[in-house]
Structure 1
């Protein structure tokens, strides 16, 4: 039992850090406890020629997956969801504002945004279509969206 306590003291932080990416924060300690309990129960299967850390993280991964599969997703009843807000005639005013703001953007930025959001192209597809580097498309899109946000906020 002393070996388990030493193993826990040495490797619990590593296991918790790994689990932090997989399970909700409030469940990390519970899953960590399951990992070390399983490690102790299956200690005869550990190959001392291999990495103990890798073995523990393998167990942690499997227990995290088990935990996530067993967890019931949070649901909200339809009665608890409020009705959507009534729009102002199909959002025509919003479309007009957006059209005016887009018209104020430099051509290159407007083109990148229109291809991304209205033609539903990926940035890579936009770069290929416009025959410009991918980084250029990303910069144009980012600058254009920032300017668009500023223009719409002022409207």
Structure 2
């Protein structure tokens, strides 16, 4: 039984193993998206949601892309919360100079929606490459597919994303 299947069945030891296996990957991914002071909180929120949403997980779709998608969503939530807080605390005269992350958050939402339309193999390859920062060789090894298959999935997926965006 795979780690994802054990997690979906509610095995608490699987959550510990998931954290041990995917924690560093999630931490790197989240660290690129949110300020350093918020990384630990976001990582904790990710694995809390992994546990709470385990019933919605489909082991056939792959555990890593699912967890990374949750991490991306929680990172965006953190950025939005900080932006709301910042807007409330910035004096009115400084508000005009305040940095607005709204466009970046909107773009991230558009990309997430476009990724959801892609076939699962293409989405998985792109998510692991971009968000997981894995090379195509590492993706091929992790998914146990030939390197050419990963390259084809990535290329087709990126073309489709370009058309969707």
Q: TM-score range by the shorter chain?
A: 0.3 to 0.5
TM-score for both structures, normalised by structure 1? 0.48
> TM-score, with normalisation over the residues of structure 2?
0.45
Structure number with higher helix proportion = 2
Q: Which has the higher contact order (CA 8 A, sep 6+)?
A: 2
